[in-house]
Each structure stands twice: as C-alpha cells, then as structure tokens.
Amino acid sequence: MITKESVRGNEQIAVYIRKADESLQAMGYTEHSFAHVTRAANFAQNLLLDLGCAPRQAELAWIAGYLHDIGNVINRIDHAQSGAIMAFRILDKMGMDAEELSTVISAIGNHDESTAYPVNEVAAALILADKTDVRRTRVRNTDFASFDMHDRVNYAVVETRTYLTPDKTALVQEMTIDTQISPVMDYFEIFLDRMLLCRKAAERLGLTFRLRVNGQTLL
C-alpha cells in the first residue's frame, strides 16, 4: 500500500515540488512549495476524517493534496492535467492500486478553477484545501510598491482559519483583511470563481460553504 509517508519520503516527488515552485516564483506567483502542498494535504485529510470518511480515503486526499501542484514544473497553463499525468506515472511506478490511483489523479486533474469539478469526495476535499489557503506568508515579493493585486490581496489577509461548524453542516472560511492594504472587493474580484467552486465542492460533501470577512458573512 502506498502511504503518505512513502509519498512524502520520495525524493523524485520532492524535486518536482521544489522545481515547480521555482518556476512559479520566476513568473511572480505566490508560494506553491512544501508549505502550501503540506497544508493542503493535511487539510484535505483532516476534513474527510472529521466528516467520518474512511481513513484510507482520507489518506488518498492527503496524497492528492501533496502532489496537486507538481504540474507547474511543466507550465502553469493546464497544470492540473499535466500534474495528474505526472502523478499517474509516479504512483503507478510505486505500485499503487488502479482503483486508488484513479481517485487520486481525478482529484488532481480537477483542482484548478478553470476546469475543476468535485468529481469525488477526494477531489472536493482537495478543492477546499487548495482554494482556502489564502495568507500573507504566501507573498514572496518584498517590494510593497511593486505588488500586483494578487500580492496585495494575499498580504492584506492578517488572519485566516477554515473550520467545520460544530454540527458539521457547514465549512466556514473566516478572514481578517486589512482594508488599508486591500479593499474587500479586490478579494472578490480575484477569488469569486474560487469561492463558487468551494461552494460546489462543499455541496459534494454534504456541506454549505460560508465566507466571513471582518466579521461579516459575505457568502
């Protein structure tokens, strides 16, 4: 059985994650390295566990989350699909069962909002894990004067957390945005498609998705 420990310890995978992030850094994107993919992997796994899904299904969500951005080493365009193909080759070579492998690569291939759809529970968990990772520490540009809108919006997020409500009927993304750095409307201009995708992914898991910004429920 291919476990998250064997995936995390695979040097080839580590190289692809690192080199993919280097490519994005060269193009001016926010951080997509080990911090992001590990955060996404843990969130996806824990979400499914909290919802009572089978531990193995939750572990497959971790694996999908950890591998989901390796396609950026080829190109940012269609990186979900190229990443799914790369993941197939790696995991097949490692000996992953075809049933589980299909689940992982379909989740990876369906995580980018331009082509995404929560085709299964693992894909839904990955979408929610990836799209809610908005935080100041992902901004790498140290020159505030040269921030583009993505830098400014991410940097304006002073505090964020995403959690299940106690009755496990809703997933809430709660953020504090410094409006002196970026108005809340800029967040919606950039991330509206992502938030609508989160709503669809949450519905796949039997949840509603709520967005709270500066104490106000906006979605």
Structural domain count of the chain: 1
Identify which of 103, 97, 56, 99 has the alpha carbon closest to the alpha carbon of residue 84: 103
In terms of residue numbers, what domain contains 146?
4-217
For 191, counting Cβ atoms within 10 Å of its Cβ (0-12 exposed, 13-18 middle, 19+ buried), the class is buried
pLDDT tens-place string over residues 41-90: 999 999 999 999 999 999 999 999 999 999 999 999 999 999 999 999 99
For 74, the token pair is: 């080829």
pTM: 0.95
Give the domain CATH number at 96: 1.10.3210.10
Residues with pLDDT less than 50, the chain: none
Query: Quick one: three-class SS letters along 91-151?
Result: HHHHCCCHHHHHHHHHHHHCCCCCCCCCCCHHHHHHHHHHHCCCCHHHCCCCCHHHCCHHH
pLDDT of residue 146: 87
SS3 172: strand
Which one-letter DSSP state was computed for residue 72? G
User: Do 33 and 18 contact (CB within 8 A), yes or no?
Assistant: yes
The CA distance from 54 to 39, in Å, is: 20
Tokens 């935080």, residue located: 135
